[in-house]
Amino acid sequence: MTNKSSLEMSVGLFLVLGLLSLSYLAVKLGDIGVFADDAYTLSARFVSSSGLTEGAFVEVGGVRVGTVQNIRVDFDSYESVVDMSLDPNIKLQDDAIASIRTSGIIGDKFVKIAPGGSDIYLEPGDEILETESSISIEELISKYIFESGDKE
């Protein structure tokens, strides 16, 4: 009887450890953020952040270095304010340029940051001042249609 209960206890313990390991891997590989590193937040103002969503990735030099945490409207200037959580190893200059781009032809929107050349670095909570808003395909098409109609 003691051998059987000892075996059952070992199998149970092995099963619990296996489930805990799988849970840890799922959280770590899924970038859920339960074990978040010391990421820091920067913000940027855009005239339009159309199509950008919370959770979209932030990229520097073609490498994903963070995510969009929050998108809100500044009612004083009617601009879109995008808060981004970035890898603590990324140091951006105060003249960096943030732009909203599309992944592929009709893919998801993301924030692309082009580093600057300044000797002054942004601190956590600072704002990227140079920005380029997203390009709306609908606006481009309607502009093309109406401009070509005016020439005739």
3-state secondary structure 50-92: CCCCCCCEEEECCEEEEEEEEEEEECCCCEEEEEEEECCCCCC
> Partners of 110 in the beta sheet?
101
- Contact yes or no for 80/110 (Cβ under 8 A): no
pLDDT of 107 over the 90 cut: no
Q: Give me the pLDDT at residue 149, please.
A: 58
Confidence grade of residue 14 (pLDDT, cut at 50, 70, 90): very high
CA distance 111 to 102: 9
The pLDDT of residue 139 is: 74
> Where do the H-state alpha helices sit in the chain?
2-29, 137-150
